[in-house]
Amino acid sequence: MHPDELAPAVTHVEIDDDQVAFFAEHGYLVLDRITTDEELDWLRATYDTFAAQRRTGFPDALFDVAKPYGSLDEPDLGQLLFPERRVAGVHDTLMWRNSMRVAARLLDLPETAVESWGHLIFKPPVRGLAIPWHQDEAYWEPRLSYHALGAWMPLDDVDVDNGCMRFLPGSHRGGVLPHRHVGDDPAVHLLELVDAVDTTAAVPVPMRAGAVSFHHPRTLHSSRPNTTERPRRAWANEFQSAPIALDVPADRPWVTEGFQAMTDALSSRR
């Protein structure tokens, strides 16, 4: 069934000037609801179909960002890139349409100038791992400049115990901090900060399924382990204008090291 058949068109989300100002000051924004229960059911079923598919241990399928490339074990921190390329209808959902509308407002761009791509993040019950403090832009191509933000929608209710998002308000105002691969292993996709930062002002953001948080790509954020019997599934979408080539690439050696480690692991697989 197509998502348009599930979600009534009356669910239309806009934000006001105060919310735009809050995002500009704090680097994140939370909205209570952007979709319907019926659409959530479709998204969960789609998500679970992806999760049941064959794994390769690499980003061409669901893989564990906390284990070295090539691992075929059950993921403790699963990720799937570009779900919108794998199933029809994602861009017709209220999740995506409302997120796009809000993102364009926060980016101060017309929707026609905004590109997007998605990824799924999964913390299984009991053993789902923590995600260390990081900035999303630390993962991105250092030869490009970005005007972007992330939209993160839980498919399950999230709280501190199963790994809700935590944001450090105002941390988006600086540059991209030095990061490294967890365990100093470039074959592990997951990044963490090299130097500790003061996170005493961090804000945990419990949300009901179907809510959404938006955050700047330089906003420091993290999440704790899933210690509950409940899954923690999230559907994230990144929104951006077309990246611009930098005259001088940013100094992010961990990106190059990670790409090389993945290339080497892929060569070994062949």
Name the β-bridge partners of 165: 205, 223
Report the sign of the C-alpha dihedral through residues 26, 194, 75, 2, in that order. Answer: positive
Six token digits for residue 129: 């791992």
The structural domains of the chain, ordered by start, are 3-269 (2.60.120.620)
Using the structure block, give the residue that is written with the tokens 């210690």: 227
Q: What pLDDT sits at residue 270?
A: 61
Structure tokens given for 42:
């479709």
Write down the residue that tokens 């997007």 correspond to. Answer: 116
8 A C-beta contact, residue 195 and residue 212: no
Give dist(CA 79, CA 17) in Å, integer: 34
Tens-of-pLDDT digits for all 270 residues of the chain?
444 444 444 479 999 999 999 999 999 999 999 999 999 999 999 999 999 999 999 999 999 999 999 999 999 999 999 999 999 999 999 999 999 999 999 999 999 999 999 999 999 999 999 999 999 999 999 999 999 999 999 999 999 999 999 999 999 999 999 999 999 999 999 999 999 999 999 999 999 999 999 999 999 999 999 999 999 999 999 999 999 999 999 999 999 999 999 999 999 876
- pTM to 2 decimal places: 0.94
How far apart, in whole angstroms, are the C-alpha atoms of residue 236 and residue 84?
11
Q: Three-state SS for 41?
A: helix
Contact (CB, 8 A) for 28 and 213: yes
